[in-house]
Structure 1
Amino acid sequence: MACVKMIHSLYEDGCEGSPSSPIRFKGQDYEQLKESLLSKGRKFEDKTFPANLDSLGKLENLSPKQLKEVEWLRPHDLNPDSSFIEDGTSRFDFKQGNVGNCWFLSSIGAMTLHKELVAAVVPRDQSFQDNYAGIFHFRFWRFGKWVDVVIDDFLPTRNKEPVSVSSRSQKEFWAPLLEKAYAKVCGSYGDMIAGNPPEAFKDFGGGVHMNYKLYEDTSDLWDVMDRAIQSKTMMGCGAFTGDKGKDICKRFGLVDGHVFAVTGVKRLEIDGNSINLVRIWNPWGEKEWTGDWSDKSATWKAVGEEDRNECLNKRNDGEFWMSMKDFCTYFEEMDICCESPNFICGDEGEWNCSLKEGRWEEGASAGGCDSQSEEFWTNPQFRLTVKGGEEEETDRERQTEEESEGTKNVLLSLLQRPDEEHRSKLKYHYIGFTIFKVPDKAPRGRLPQSLFLEEWPLKVSEFKKSRELIEFHTLEPGEYLIIPSTYDPHKTGGFIITIYSKAETDIE
């Protein structure tokens, strides 16, 4: 099982932003609000996210006329027998509605495979029966801190049918309310349209995210997925867009440009040969793969009865199996988010995790990526000390040069934190890292401009225009200077830098 030890983080348990003491989103205190409502016999109406068109936002699947027909109703108005959770949480509890947020709903489906993750995001002390006051709350990991988001339970409907995600049983409402809480964080339901699973994965608990392009070399990907599925891991995949995506959709029943959850892997033995299968779920709750290993495929006849009964489910629930080969052929990319990097390398050892917050400010601390420029030294600086004992030194001496180069012991993550409140208006910079080896006798504190004019960087990362940049590195014991920066100078924005390390480290 993966193991991560948090050190030097933004918070310790009990401090503001920790799991036990989350930050109150919009300053709203769930317990105090609920107690006040119960004492007055009232139901909550959230003035910070009111039941109106502004909170609904622009929905591409609804015309202006249809938007005006939207009526906000509480769950009891839709079903007098409403419940928050029945028999646990499952990806089969809900299906996508008229909001194009398959990336978010597929991520919820992946999260439900791990009850610990669900418990962190969806507090269970909520009900439509006991002490009901029309108020609910959910928790998200937002840029290194846990945030508690309070909502009322008014849901957007047309003709008493949910506009957005709906309950398959028509009585269980944890998923529609969770979606509303995330819409509030994003600015509106419309602000949730279009995205990628890693964004929601991170907001469901942080962790390490890796992206895999399935059209590239995937020879070791099955092993990575097999290791990942055994840990607290969320996986998602994206279908091709354009003409290729439409052709695949027409031939095999998939949805072009759509995001799915990866919910399982299985190795089967057939006539002495093994075949690797991948299980995938469509958040629409329907529209499944029709090729080999689909629900009605004849390929299942070659499988033993025990494996067939375990895997095969002929319901139209959006979930299906396909071979690893077809998965890498008919899907474009896959994302994995896990508590620790162990799923990548197969090492079950402990990782240290250091998390720090920083900011680039135009004219003050946004020096760009050119280490020879006069402004570069103004960028935020993080000094990392990688420690190593005698045992580690001996192990390194035994390694060949090739083995040593392949031993990645430090993972760096740079996560942008834009200032814009509405998700659809976010603009990300090109970001990356520059790493220097700190010279002997270097002064403490910030290193001066002269160092960067005299020393060449040890490593320079790729610069990407993305929400998060992640890179693995091999760093020998010693002291390093890590400088996160935007590609161009004079860019303003916040960031979170996270360092996972196999060796003992100090960061300042």
Structure 2
Amino acid sequence: MAFLNPAFMLMSFHFVQEREREGVSTCVCACANSAHVLCSDLFAMEMTTDEDALFEDLDFAADDSSLFSDYTTPLSGLINNVTWLRPQEICRSPCLFPDDITEAYPKQGILGDCWLLCACSMLLKSHHLLDQVMPPGQHVWGEKGYRGQFRFQFWRNGRWTEVRVDDRLPCVKNTLCFSRCHQPSAFWVALLEKAYAKLCGSYEHLWAGQVCEAVVDLSGGVAERWSLTHAEDTLSGRSLFPELSNEMRKRSYISCCVHRALSGSSEQGQFHALSVMEWTDVKTSAGDQVRLLRIRNPWGRKAWNGAWTESGSGWNCLDPSCSADLLGRTQEGEFWVDEMEFRQEFDEVTVGYPISEDWHLQSIYTGSLLTHSQQISGAWVKGQSAGGCRNNSSYSSNPKFWLKVREGGEVLLSLLQHRSVSTMCNSKQRPTDGSTKQHLCQAIALHVWKVDKKHYNLMQTLNSTPCASTRTHVYEREVVVHTHLSSGFYLLVPSTFLQGAEGQFLLRVHSTHPAYLSAVKVCTQQECTGGEWEAVTVCGRWTAGSTAGGSRNFSSHGQNPRVPLNITYDPGGTNVKITLRQHSPENALHAIGFHVYKIPDGKADSVVISTLCPVVSCVPHAHSQEVCVQCRLPPAGYIILPSTYQPDCSAEYTITISRRIHRKAINSQECLGRTVQEISHVSVMGL
């Protein structure tokens, strides 16, 4: 499964007893029946005496509307059991961060958001990221300017979005029921969790998710997922993350997760995410080298039975001083595993690209800074630009972008589809099998072709092998392509798997050298009228049951009328204009389009259309009076097949073929007709 959750095991309220054993009860209010009784008169004097002045967030109210979305997760057991308290009502001396940074790490409550908490650990490694997400200088408890309000910033759909929340937090028996810090009096994690829940629509929307999504939302960077099991199942095609340099081991953020029930440590649970805090190579007494990884469990307990537990047999093969040093580094909820255990017990890793203080991504592959970045938005629109995958004849209608690379180098491309908050909030079918958010995403992919700047045949290009691409369409919010590109021009085509699937997306490019990203600008018929032209008009009819074969989606496509086209002159640039016009009333238009096939030598009469790929297409079929395509065709013999989208649609049509000629036209004619309805297949760079 692609999504992570703690398998519902924390729903029990035993967490309250556990926290009482940790000493939390000494910090809670003495009067359990009054949620607003302060623990200390001295602290109350330091606080504002006007409780009404404290901010109350009406957009994310302290009630069940902020907790639940559709009551389909185990959180529904909290109905009518939650009390909302401010930190000063929970403990005596609340703070944002403890003095000991090791006590600031998140500890998971009964909410299945281990994926978010693992990403929160990343912020403690990068103070500039932490300051970006939680701007410094905010007034806290006991300060004169404190008003019970906190600001956070999350990166969404290409920009940083501010989220303001009050500090009323959900509690059970005066104890936080969701995430907190290892030091109970520190509240940065609980407040960030609330702000992120507001961004997503509710706390329940945080039940199950992807670590990589949270990493991106908390950094504005890029994260990749790699399989540790089967190479064919991984997004990057790797069976294990590559060897990282010592620097990248320290700078990269790495998380690991379990998709299945663990054999050696069943308490870990299925769909659970953990953080890789450190990895180091040590030598055994026999001289063998062992790679050890220090893992942090957001549950706050070790829950591990391997050879490298505190009393495990693995330590016997190391020098006692080395063993003592490594064991001394572990904090609450941390444990060591060797690389063999790691491969056997975990299924997947997420690696977040480090971000420098200058806000440049650092390549996890080479360590190089990707100092040049650009982003551009786009959309898949049904009937216009939602062409689907390469299996569809309408693939060419997908949005297209130019990438101009001035100097060869390392390039990181990412395609991120928007998932609006309103869509998430309105969702009423939330599975609880570890794939909670999957249904909110389209299966997406990104393909890249190197092309000539001035002239190229779109259909021939798209039918060729891309120079780089995602491995397949996947149901992920973001897909990533890491590659090295030489200087030149590249055509980028983002697509959904399903034809007609709508959505908005963000295309990002990070590179070591200057690269320029722009949307493909199409050349209209009026812009390509240079030179001498000769026009021929052919009339025909689609007849139900005989010549109305429909589009290429139907086996009867070859029954459509065939219009011969002979090209003898190619001066460079556009040399053919084909216009198809149907003679039907405006209120009874069919969806029309056409394909152009190159015929093998001497086989014009016997060519089987189903065995050929079109060299030019005017698709998707449009409910328009007229459609048109301009293109460049080399000298050869061709066949034009006009068609309606559905078979057995009767109508009359006219095809006008305009060809460039090398002599002065005697009887030339040009039919501009209505506004061009389909995109051109001749594109120019627009920078």
Partner in structure 1 of residue 452 of structure 2: 439
CA contact (8 A) 2:229 2:347 kept: yes
- Asked whether the equivalents of residues 371 and 453 of structure 1 are also in contact (C-alpha less than 8 Å), the reply is no
Deviation of 1:95 (Å): 1.4
130-139 vs 40-49, which deviates more? 40-49
Residues 115-167 of structure 1 show CA distances to partners (whole Å, capped at 9, x for unaligned) of 22222212231211221101011111112211111000111112112121134
The amino acid of 2:263's aligned partner reads D
Aligned length: 440
Is the partner of 1:224 in helix, strand or coil? coil
Task: Tell me, yes or no, if the aligned pair for 1:187 and 1:423 is still in contact at 8 Å.
Answer: yes
Distance 2:204 2:453 in 1: 54
Per the alignment, residue 479 of structure 2 pairs with 469
| 2:500 aligned with 1:490 | yes
Matched, 1:248 2:260: no
Matching residue of 1:257: 271
* SS at structure 2 position matched to 1:452: helix
* 1:123 counterpart = 2:135: yes
Question: What amino acid sits opposite 2:390 in the alignment?
Answer: D
Q: Which residue of 2 aligns with 1:15?
A: none
Q: Distance in 2 between matches of 1:145 and 1:38?
A: 38
- Structure 2 CA distance for aligned equivalents of residues 467 and 321 of structure 1: 32
- Residues 220 and 106 of structure 1, relative CA distance in 2, 3 Å threshold: closer
Choose from 37, 46, 54 the match for 2:57: 46
Letter in 1 for 2:80: K
Indicate the SS of the match to 1:345. coil
Q: Where does residue 379 of structure 1 map in the other structure?
A: 398
The share of aligned pairs that are identical, in percent, is 29
User: Which of 226, 231, 234 is equivalent to 1:212?
Assistant: 226
Worse overlay, 179-188 or 490-499: 490-499
Q: 1:502 aligns with which of 504, 512, 515?
A: 512
Equivalent position of 2:413 in the other structure: 412
For residue 229 of structure 1, report the CA deviation from its aligned partner.
2.5
| Correspondences of 1:45-84 after superposition (within 5 Å) | 45-57=56-68, 58=71, 60-62=73-75, 64=77, 66-84=78-96
| 1:229-244 equivalence runs, <5 A | 229-231=249-251, 233-241=252-260
Report if aligned partners of 1:111, 1:117 keep a CA contact under 8 Å in 2: yes
| More helix by percentage | 1
Partner letter of residue 344 of structure 2? T
TM-score for the superposition, normalised by structure 2: 0.59
Determine the C-alpha separation between the residues in 2 that align with 1:203 and 1:349.
21
Q: How far is the alpha carbon of 1:479 from its aligned partner?
A: 0.9
Runs of 5+ unmatched residues, structure 2: 1-47, 232-237, 356-360, 428-436, 519-687
Q: In 2 relative to 1, CA 258–91 (structure 1 residues): closer, same or farther, beyond 3 Å?
A: farther
Partner Cα distance (1:501, 1:318) in 2: 38
* Contact 1:366 1:490 (C-alpha < 8 Å) held by counterparts: yes
- Closer, same or farther: CA 419–169 of 1 in aligned 2, 3 Å: closer
1:428 is matched with: 441
Partner of 1:292: 307
Contact 2:302 2:335 in 1 (8 A): no
Give the aligned CA root-mean-square deviation in angstroms.
Answer: 2.9
Give the whole-Å Cα distance in 2 for the aligned partners of 1:51 and 1:490: 40
Return the letter of the residue paired with 2:185.
K
Secondary structure class of the residue paired with 2:116? helix
**Given residue 335 of structure 2, which amino acid in structure 1 is its aligned partner?**
F
What is the Cα deviation at residue 88 of structure 1?
6.1
Tell me the distance in 2 between the aligned counterparts of 1:331 and 1:455. 38
Query: Which of the residues 380, 386, 397 maps onto 1:366?
Result: 386
The 3-state SS of whatever aligns with 2:347 is strand
Match of residue 178, structure 2, among 164, 179, 198: 164
Q: Shift in Å at residue 219 of structure 1?
A: 8.2
CA contact (8 A) 1:94 1:165 kept: yes
Aligned AA (1:249): S
Mapped partners of 2:116, 2:332: distance in 1: 18
| Aligned amino acid, residue 379 of structure 1 | N
Cα distance in 2, alignment partners of residues 483 and 115 from structure 1 = 37
Distance between the aligned counterparts of 1:229 and 1:91, measured in 2? 23
Partners of 1:100 and 1:210 lie apart in 2 by 22
Shift, 1:335, TM fit:
0.5
Query: What is the CA–CA distance in structure 2 between the aligned matches of 1:355 and 1:411, rounded to whole Å?
Result: 12
**For residue 384 of structure 1, what is the amino acid of its counterpart?**
L
Q: Shift in Å at residue 502 of structure 1? A: 3.2
- What is the alpha-carbon distance in structure 2 between the residues aligned to residue 453 and residue 194 of structure 1? 43
- 2:166 paired residue among 147, 152, 157: 152
What is aligned with 1:193? 207
Q: SS where residue 170 of structure 1 aligns?
A: coil
CA distance in 2, matches of 1:357, 1:133: 38
* Match for residue 176 of structure 1 among 173, 176, 190: 190
Distance in structure 1 (CA, Å) of the matches to 2:264 and 2:363: 30
Change (3 A) 1:301 1:248: closer
Q: Secondary structure at the match of 2:298?
A: coil
- What corresponds to 2:463 in structure 1? 456
For 1:280 and 1:114, locate their aligned partners in 2 and report how far apart those are by CA, in whole Å.
19
Deviation of 1:497 (Å): 0.9
Structure 1, 165-174 or 270-279: larger mean CA deviation: 165-174
Tell me how far apart the structure 2 counterparts of residues 255 and 103 of structure 1 sit (CA, whole Å): 14
Would you say 1:304 and 2:319 are equivalent positions? Answer: yes
* 1:454–1:496 Cα change, 3 Å: closer
Counterpart of 2:335 (choices 309, 312, 320) is 320
Aligned with 1:481: secondary structure? Answer: strand
SS at match of 2:383: coil
Q: Distance in 1 between matches of 2:168 and 2:50?
A: 21
Structure 1 residues 265, 455: CA separation in 2 closer, same or farther (over 3 Å shift)?
closer
Aligned to 2:297: 282
1:110 paired to 2:122: yes
CA contact (8 A) 2:107 2:299 kept: yes
CA contact (8 A) 2:102 2:331 kept: no
**Aligned equivalents of 1:158, 1:469: Cα separation in 2:** 39
For 1:90 and 1:140, the matched residues in 2 are separated by 24
C-alpha separation between the residues in 2 aligned to 1:221 and 1:246?
21
> How many angstroms apart in 2 are the aligned matches of 1:91 and 1:223?
31
What SS does the aligned partner of 1:296 have? coil
* C-alpha distance in structure 2 between counterparts of 1:167 and 1:350, whole Å: 34
* Distance across 2 between alignment mates of 1:454 and 1:166: 54
Question: Which 10-residue stretch deviates more, 114-123 or 194-203?
Answer: 114-123
Contact 2:291/2:339 (<8 A) preserved: yes
* Cα distance change on mapping 1:158 and 1:372 into 2, 3 Å: closer
C-alpha distance 367-216 of structure 1, shift in aligned 2 (>3 A): closer
